[in-house]
Structure 1
Amino acid sequence: MKKRIIATLSAVLAVILLLFTSAFASSAADDGLKNVDGKWIYVKDGVKDTSFTSLVKYYSTWYYVENGELNWSFTGLTDYYGTKYYVENGVLNWDYTGLALLGSDEWYYAENGEVKNDYTGLTYFCGRWFYVEKSALNWDYTGLTNYYGTWYYVENSILNWSFTGLTDYYGTKYYVENGVLNWNYTGLALLGSDEWYYAENGAVKNDYTGLTYFCGRWFYVEKSALNWDFTGLTDYYGTKYYVENSILNWDYTGLALFGSDKWYYAENGTVKNDYTGLVHFGDRWLYVEKSAFNRDYTGLTNYYGTWYYVENSILNWNYTGLTKYYDTWYYVENGVLNWNFSGAVLYGKTLYYVNGGRITWDYNGTADYNGVKYIFVGSIAQTGIYKSKYTDYNLVYADGKTGWYDYGDNTYYIGSDGRPLYGNQYIDGKRYFFNANGAKASLFGADFSKHQGTIDWASVKQSGVEFVILRAAVRGYGSSGNLMTDSQIAANIEGALSQNIDVGIYVFSQAVTTEEAVEEAERALDIIKGYDIKLPVYFDSEYSGAPNRTGRADGLTKAERTSLAIAFCETVRNAGYKPGVYASKSFFYNNLGYAAFQSRGYEIWLAHHISSVTDFKYPYNIWQYTSKGSIGGVQSEYADLDIAYYDYANDSDMSERGKNVMVTASSDDFLSFVNTEEKITRYIKTGLASDKEEALRAASLITNQNASKALIDAINKLN
């Protein structure tokens, strides 16, 4: 019985327990797992929820339910309320850290079973390192990432241990070696397949331009990039090197460009800054100075023993002429210094003498230039003035000319021997006088009366006439002795003065008394009143021309004629004019008292018609040398021609004309003067009597008497 009670109580307790269990299960099925027939299912409101896929916590463990059933085979990530968790064989694994798959292709980094979306970096998975970005594996990422202080290279999100080269990270290129950024590397490195850059301490800084050594060669980088197009010079620690297509070319010798406009000479790839000379470049030879191309240089340079002419640093093969090099002038012919040349060379407007390829500055001599003979003093052609060192003289070289030569205010006549004429000369039908200086010291003139008719004074001027003596009046040689004014006198005075021809006056006298002589003078004075008469008023004393000398004055004695002349001249003088006497040579000797005229200072006009120079023994200022002359502008066949040795207009005897000037076209004369001065210089240096004598002897041989005397005086003053 006891046993039956116990059995009954046990059955009751079992029912009660079953009822209790059923009640609890029904309550839990509302939101949790339930084991049914060995399967764990997720029920909600007592019914299995096949739409439910998520995590479910059961007794502190989280399980992965898929379509209402716990999936013990699921391993991967699942999202739970926006957070991804790692499930391993259906159970959330809080101890897992690493990569995990979400869905079919999304990988994430889980840390302690949870994807926190805050990790960027590397993670190790299945033997490889992967890159995650905000906890998500980014298959598109290629670049650097830092992992515990070391930077690694990731390619398509996988750490590439075999990669060596450059990679870009936030605009900067870094050098990676076997997958790891090498901060110690400095040198060239490849970016991609063909871009080389210069990295310094692992990074490309884009600030370096210059050379870098790589694999046994030197390369040129520009702003840290290797520039294959670059050919030229670059500076590396103060030395310039030649780069060709970005590689230093040790075999190159020649000109090369540095920067945009500076050229240098490189030898075996290096600019050594020690070369000065020529360099062949293209089709030209260029000049470099201390290895630099100097565009401003013009002058000579030596190249293998030959001197060449460079103009603006380019050898000028077309240049022929002089050039200066270190204070010496050299002769260049077709671009090359010609040491064998000696002769005249024109430089600018000056002609120089080159002796053995250079100007020695000591050449005194002659040389031809373009068919003309020139004289050189101190190697300079004397086309101008040579100033004497020891006298007041200036030497004028007449450029090898002959004939008339004007210098300053004076006129000279150069003979065929190159020397100026001196004294009385007959040139082209006219008489001239040249003083001791060689300057023309005479005036060409003529004397006219009504017998020349109406005169064309412009033509007279063009004939070279500088003065005229015009007849003012004439006294008849008959017994009545009428005094008649020349019918052309007024027209002639005015015509001459209009052409700036100086005028003098004469009266043909037949006076036999003092009164008549005074009358003649007064008639002349009355005629010239109001005119600018610069030459004297002359008393013309000669035979009348009457047959058998029967003129009223032809029989006067010498004393009578002299007395009449004095009466005339004194009247003229008292009126303020210069008085003068005209007569022939024989009349002055035999019919007039010359001494009386000379003592009173009368002007003498000599008539002596002779082809040679007159031998009249007394002084005179005007010489009528012919009555058969020819002058343009006069109607008569002949005219009287005169030469004046005194310039009445300027009150000068003209002896000072050409003073302190020696004009010559004779190189011998010129060089005699110059060489004499050199002998004087030597005497000054030595003080030897023999040198003084040599200088005096040289001075005495100079043909210009005044110049010769000046040099002799200068020598003697040195005592």
Structure 2
Amino acid sequence: MKTRRRSPRRSESSGLTTFLRVARFGTLAAVAFGLASCAIAPSSSRYPMKSDARPHHGVAKAHRLPIHGVDISKWQGDVDWASLRKAGTKFAFIKATEGGDHVDSRFLENWHGAKRAGIPRGAYHFVYWCRPAHEQAAWFKRNVPADPDALPPVLDVEWNGQSVNCPKKVPREQALAMIDVMLREMEAHTGKRPIIYTDITFHKEILEGEFTDYPFWIRSTAAEPHERYANRRWTFWQFTTTGRVPGVKGDVDRNTFYGTENQWRMFVQSACDPRDYRRLAVAGKCLPLDPIQTASIDE
């Protein structure tokens, strides 16, 4: 068989075609690899400027949720709220009071800083089990502004075995009664149904089956919430205490909201978990929703 010799021009054209095909394949492969990387580490597209000093595979699901935030106290030092917002922070819970005579030394600085930066924020009270509930509620009301733009307040309930003055636990009935008083007083002060923050131990010993009409913010840093909390639906999840976010030096607690961006808008507007809105709104427990700015509760 005779072999036809190709002209130099055709040979160059063929080589160029091969090169373009290879280059195109390389580009598509790079895109595919990038998409695969996002699937493996989805947090990069949700909150791209954050990280974790000690990440745990057990809470990987938290990174796939769209609404992320932080909780802040004096231990974070000077906070650059503008940088926090720019990094993708959607909310912040700020320590305000503890017991009946302690105010976080940076509360008002953080409270006003977050608002100036446009970050929705709520104040939290840390319960001191050796102080009467009505005194703690009065202290909270005295020191936390009733800002209509704020997120619902948070009641932080956990045992504090490391406390020098009050490491003891109280009986379950007493703890529940104290919590009930403070929740009602905080709601009266702010006009919004409070959020209950708790950890695994306190929930198991005190809160299982209780306060089902309240949104829960739960701590679980090594597993998904359903693995640690029996029959507890959560609204917020604190999934690490070693987070890193621009605007905060060193470790910061990172948290996520359970739902979509639309459900987050509904929560901010109504101060109610969207899953409870229809039922609680009838009882006057939720603020009205703007139907123009929000879609279906289920979206």
TM-score, normalised by the number of residues in structure 2: 0.66
| Closer, same or farther: CA 368–656 of 1 in aligned 2, 3 Å | farther
- The one-letter code matched in structure 2 to 1:546 is Q
| Closer, same or farther: CA 494–519 of 1 in aligned 2, 3 Å | same
Q: Does 1:462 align with 2:86?
A: yes
Q: Which residue of 2 aligns with 1:522?
A: 138
SS at match of 2:239: strand
Give a deviation string over 1:183-236, Cα, whole Å, max 9, x none: xxxxxxxxxxxxxxxxxxxxxxxxxxxxxxxxxxxxxxxxxxxxxxxxxxxxxx
- The one-letter code matched in structure 2 to 1:449 is S
Distance in 1 of aligned mates of 2:66 and 2:146: 27
Q: Does 1:415 align with 2:33?
A: no
Q: Does 1:429 align with 2:51?
A: yes
Q: Which residue of 2 aligns with 1:178?
A: none
| Residue among 241, 248, 251 paired with 1:638 | 251
- What is the CA RMSD across the aligned residues, in angstroms? 3.8
SS at match of 1:471: strand
Q: Does 1:624 align with 2:238?
A: yes
Distance in 2 of aligned mates of 1:578 and 1:489: 21
- The one-letter code matched in structure 2 to 1:640 is D
| Residue among 105, 112, 130 paired with 1:487 | 105
| Closer, same or farther: CA 488–560 of 1 in aligned 2, 3 Å | same
| Closer, same or farther: CA 493–373 of 1 in aligned 2, 3 Å | same
| Closer, same or farther: CA 620–432 of 1 in aligned 2, 3 Å | same
Q: Which residue of 1 aligns with 2:182?
A: 568
| Closer, same or farther: CA 605–495 of 1 in aligned 2, 3 Å | same
After TM superposition, give the deviation of residue 602 of structure 1 in Å.
Answer: 1.5
After TM superposition, give the deviation of residue 627 of structure 1 in Å.
Answer: 1.6
Q: Which runs of 5+ in 1 are unaligned?
A: 1-366, 375-398, 405-412, 435-439, 476-481, 660-719
Q: Which residue of 1 aligns with 2:214?
A: 602
| Closer, same or farther: CA 503–403 of 1 in aligned 2, 3 Å | farther
Alignment of 1:530-569 (within 5 A): 530-546=146-162, 551-552=165-166, 554-569=168-183
Distance in 2 of aligned mates of 1:551 and 1:603: 30
Q: Contact conserved, 2:47 with 2:88, CA < 8 A, in 1?
A: no
Alignment of 1:107-118 (within 5 A): none
SS at match of 1:536: coil
| Residue among 112, 121, 124 paired with 1:506 | 124
- The one-letter code matched in structure 1 to 2:207 is G
Q: Contact conserved, 1:470 with 1:492, CA < 8 A, in 2?
A: yes
Distance in 1 of aligned mates of 2:155 and 2:241: 19
Distance in 2 of aligned mates of 1:369 and 1:534: 53
Distance in 1 of aligned mates of 2:129 and 2:22: 67
- The one-letter code matched in structure 2 to 1:523 is W
Q: Contact conserved, 1:446 with 1:641, CA < 8 A, in 2?
A: yes
| Closer, same or farther: CA 657–574 of 1 in aligned 2, 3 Å | closer
After TM superposition, give the deviation of residue 642 of structure 1 in Å.
Answer: 1.2
- The one-letter code matched in structure 2 to 1:470 is I
After TM superposition, give the deviation of residue 488 of structure 1 in Å.
Answer: 1.0
Q: Contact conserved, 2:129 with 2:169, CA < 8 A, in 1?
A: no
Distance in 2 of aligned mates of 1:524 and 1:588: 23
Q: Contact conserved, 1:450 with 1:486, CA < 8 A, in 2?
A: yes
| Residue among 186, 202, 214 paired with 1:587 | 202
SS at match of 2:158: coil
Q: Contact conserved, 2:51 with 2:245, CA < 8 A, in 1?
A: no
SS at match of 1:460: helix
Alignment of 1:110-509 (within 5 A): 370-371=24-25, 402-403=34-35, 415=39, 429=51, 433=62, 441-475=65-99, 483-509=101-127
Q: Which residue of 1 aligns with 2:268?
A: 649
TM-score, normalised by the number of residues in structure 1: 0.29
Q: Say which structure, 1 or 2, has more relative contact order (CA 8 Å, 6+ apart).
A: 2
Greater helix percent: which structure? 2
| Closer, same or farther: CA 414–555 of 1 in aligned 2, 3 Å | closer
- The one-letter code matched in structure 2 to 1:488 is R
Q: Contact conserved, 2:47 with 2:68, CA < 8 A, in 1?
A: no
Residues paired across the two proteins, number: 237
Give a deviation string over 1:449-486, Cα, whole Å, max 9, x none: 112122111122233221111011122xxxxxx52121
- The one-letter code matched in structure 2 to 1:634 is V
Q: Contact conserved, 1:536 with 1:578, CA < 8 A, in 2?
A: yes
Q: Contact conserved, 1:441 with 1:657, CA < 8 A, in 2?
A: no
Q: Does 1:613 align with 2:224?
A: yes
